[in-house]
Amino acid sequence: MPEMRFVIEWPGGEHQVCYSPSLVVKEHLDVGESYTIDDFVSRCRKALELASERVFKKYGFPCNLARAEAARIASTAARFHGQSGAKVRVLRFVE
């Protein structure tokens, strides 16, 4: 199963490298696109849940790293809730 990383930029300018055990993230995020905080968290949660399910189907257990990454994204995003116009930009995919 091909794993990947995706690089994002938070509203404050901080870059973060995120992990996915599957390329499914490419179906939920677009490079160069900016997403509101809530939309971004929702898209990542869905993509990483699907990625974990793919791992489960192939290996018989879910991917704890995908779950942890979704939690890390949500935790970081919480810092920006309530900031008007705050968006996360997807910078690139790394396979």
Characterize the bridge pairing of strands 87-94 and 15-20: unpaired
Q: Give me the chain's average pLDDT, please.
A: 95
Question: What pLDDT score does 81 carry?
Answer: 87
What pLDDT is attached to residue 1? 65
Which pLDDT does position 57 carry in this prediction?
94
Q: How far apart are CA 39 and CA 36, in angstroms?
A: 5
Is the predicted pLDDT of residue 40 greater than 70, yes or no?
yes
pLDDT at position 14 over 80? yes
